[in-house]
């Protein structure tokens, strides 16, 4: 009985994992409009800019940080 359980886990586990991954990949691809992609890219560039400014300020290479007042 124990061998059957281990065989099920060994064979069924990877099959189930693959099916879930395939489902997530397919469902994730069809939910992105060009506007969403552009918004994500712009937010990523802004985040990278902020992180670069923080790194430069911490290393003494740039002006001191000021709070973001655009909100």
Read off the pLDDT band of 68 (50, 70, 90).
Answer: low
| Whether the model pTM is above 0.75 | no
**pLDDT at position 71 over 60:** no
pLDDT given at position 63: 67
End-to-end CA distance of the chain: 63
Q: What is the mean pLDDT of residues 23-47?
A: 88
Give the residue carrying structure tokens 């940080």.
65
Per-residue DSSP letters for the chain?
-HHHHHHHHHHHHHHHHHHHHHHHHHHHHTT--HHHHHHHHHHHHHHHHHHHHHHHHHTTSSPPP------
């Amino acid at each position: 009985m124990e061998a059957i359980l281990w065989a099920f886990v060994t064979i069924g586990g990877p099959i189930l994992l693959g099916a879930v991954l395939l489902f997530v990949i397919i469902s994730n691809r069809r939910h992105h409009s060009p506007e969403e992609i552009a918004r994500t890219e712009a937010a990523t560039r802004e985040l990278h800019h902020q992180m670069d400014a923080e790194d430069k300020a911490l290393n003494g290479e740039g002006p001191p940080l000021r709070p973001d007042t655009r909100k």
